[in-house]
Structure formats: structure tokens, C-alpha cells
Amino acid sequence: MSLWFSITLVAIGISLLLALARAALGPTAFDRVLAVNSIGTLAVLAICVYGFFDGRPEFLDIALLYALINFIGTISVLKYFRAGTLGDHVPTEKQRGAQ
Amino acid sequence: MMVENIVTVIAIFSLGVGSLGVLFGALGLLRLGDVYQRMHGAGIIDTGGAGLILFGLLLASPDWTVSVRLVLIGLLLALTSPTATHAIARAAHFAGVKPLLKTSPDAPIEKGADE
Amino acid sequence: MRSVYVSTILMFGLWLALSGHYTPLLLALGALSALGVSLLAKRMNVLDEEGLPIGILFRLPRVTLWIIWEILKSNLGVIRVIIAPSKAAPQLVTVLAGQHTAAGLVTHANFITLTPGTVSVQVDEDRNEIIVHGLTQEFCNATKDGSMDAKVSLLEKRTVSGT
């Protein structure tokens, strides 16, 4: 079984590199956000599989947290793109046009 | 003994297919034409790849506390990943990134129609 | 107040499943924190029927099995396009949503995004329309034929009658 876990880990690692290439290539900012989001999902999977590979399922707690933070991170980066702020204050249409 | 073997085989099969799915998804992320198309590649990673790998791990899990965590991670990914993808698509659309279209769309979208 | 009790019990159940430590002191602390979180949620007004749709839980399994099958099918379709990117014929289509509540519309849009090959780009709440980016013509047709709309409406109806 351990062999299969390591094969899965290698596959996830290669996918991580491919996604990293897309994050580096761009061309738009949204490509990069998409790639970073995918890297987050892949990292969650990698943490899970590594926990099984190493026989330490406590890693799953970390994966759970990582999945939560990955989502919040993506949303907040997009909100920052859109509104230019992370707080409650959302600039009105006029202010945004003036930027 | 027999049942255990079958479960192990299904787990290995699921892990293998999930790995392939993740690889193809990442390949799609790299190969497809524009942001909107690449989202479909990312979709494979989030649904098919992640789902099958987590299912394989679920079958291989040693006790029930581990299974509970795996199911929670799966639920969380299933709820959050489409929301994140939609947020990216919407943000790209409002930022004025035009999708490459093959034929004439039957719904030409006006930019910023709902604002 | 009923919703506070229900959510406390659900959260304590989650705590029990995740904790793994079952001494009296820790159990009491877990129950206390579940109650505290529920009271906070009540104070934030996120504990309405939309935040805690109990009725939906009983109708969910059938739709879940259906969506898993759809996801597996469309995964294969997208992989076919990734192998030969020239096959990609991206389209923007408008899908009419038959849902009447915001939660139903969001569920529909999420289901569309959840199946690879289609991504909901924009949701128009006033006109009940979802603008969908599909990778090929087949994916668009599969989204537009109304089967997904019917499944989501099934889920939604149970939610409304559950109030």
C-alpha cells in the first residue's frame, strides 16, 4: 500500500510543478489566482496522502485547516483586486472610476 | 480476508485514477487557451482528482476518526472549490477579460450589466 | 430558540467526531463551546432556515449520487478535450434557472461549476439567469436541457416546505 501512496504523491508533485508553471506564466492575474487556488487544493491532497504514507493520520487536521485557509485566501485576494480594500469599506462606482 | 483484498484493490484503483485525473487537470491548466478554459482544467483537479484520491484514502483509513476527517475535507472541497472558481470567473469577467469564443454566442453579455 | 438547540447538538456532534478525547472536563468544555458558538451565530442572525436547512438533509443523498455521476462523466469529456485542445469550442450560454430563492439559485450555480466543462460566470438574480461558460457545445447542451434545473428545484422545494 505504501508504494501506491508514494506513486500518488509523485503524481501530485508533478501536477504541483505544472500548476506552478501556469502561475509563473500568467498572462493575466486571474490565471495566477486560479493556479494558486489549484496549488492549494493539491497541497491539501498531498498533506492527506503524506499522512497515510507516513502512518500519521494527525496530518489530516492540518489538511482540514489548509483547505479552509486556501478558500478564504482566494476570496480575499479577489476582493482586493475588485475593491482595492479588504475591509467593509467598498469604494463606490465613482471612486473606482477615478482610480 | 477476501473482502479486505477487494477493498484494498478498489482503494488502489481509486488512488491511481485520481492521480491520473490530477495530472490531466494540471496539464489542462497549462495547455488550454485562456483563463475561462483553464478553469475547466482546475475543475478536474478539484472534483475528479481530489474526490477519487480522498475516496481511495477513505477505503484505506485505519479507524473511524480518520474517516470522519476525510469526509469533512471532501465536503469542504466540494462546497468551496466551485465558489472559488465562480469568484475567479466573475472577477475576470468584470475586469474585462474577454473569453475566446469559437462560434457566435447565443447570449452576448454586456459588460457590467448588473451594476 | 429551537435553532440554537439544534445547531448546538450538531456542533457538539462534530466536536465529538473530531476530538478523540473523552474525559468529563473536556466533554463539558466542548459542549460549552458549541453552545457559545451557536449563541454567537444567533446574535449574528446567520441561524435562519437558510443557514440551517434541516429538511434538505433527507433529500440530499439522491441528488448527491446523481451529481457524482454527472461529475465523473464530464471529467472524461474534459480530459478528452485536454488531450486534443483543438477540439475546444468555448461558448457562453444563458441558462434559465427555475429556482425562487437565493439559496436555490446559488446551489444551481454551484452545481454548474462543480461539473467540469461548465463554469457559471455571472448570476442574474432579477432575471433568474445564469451565464455559463462551456468548454464545448455538448457541455452547454447538457447544462441547458433542464435536468440539473429539475434536480436543484427538487432540493429547493423540500427546503421551502421544511420551514
ipTM of the assembly? Answer: 0.82
Is B33 within 8 Å of C85 when comparing Cβ atoms?
yes
User: Which positions in chain B touch C113 (Cβ < 8 Å)?
Assistant: 43, 82-83, 85-86, 89
Domain-embedded: residue B85: yes
Position B112 confidence tier, pLDDT thresholds 50, 70, 90 = very low
CB-based burial label for A39 (10 Å; 0-12, 13-18, 19+): buried
Domain-embedded: residue B82: yes
Domain-embedded: residue B35: yes
- State yes or no: pLDDT of C141 exceeds 70: yes
Q: For position C22, what pLDDT does the model report?
A: 82
Domain-embedded: residue B99: no
C162 CB-side CA count, 13 A? 17
> Comparing C127 with A12, which gets the higher pLDDT?
A12
Residue A67 maps to which CATH number? 1.10.287
- State yes or no: pLDDT of B110 exceeds 70: no
The whole-angstrom separation of Cα C118 and Cα C91 is 10
Q: Would you list the DSSP string of C16-74?
A: HHHH----HHHHHHHHHHHHHHHHHHHHTT--STTTS-TTHHHHHHHHHHHHHHHHHHH
Q: For position C163, what pLDDT does the model report?
A: 37
Position C85 confidence tier, pLDDT thresholds 50, 70, 90 = confident
Domain borders along chain C are 2-43, 56-161
User: Which positions in chain B touch C64 (Cβ < 8 Å)?
Assistant: none
**What's the structural domain count of chain B?**
1
Put simply, whether B98 touches C (Cβ < 8 Å) is: no
The packing angle between helices C2-19 and C24-43, to 10°, is 140
Domain-embedded: residue B81: yes
Between A31, A52, A82, which is nearest B60 by CB? A52
Please tell me which of B3-7, C76-80, C156-160 the model is most confident about, judged by mean pLDDT. C76-80
**What's the structural domain count of chain A?**
1
Compute the mean pLDDT over every residue in chain B, rounded to the nearest whole number: 82
Domain assignment of residue B89, given as a range: 2-94
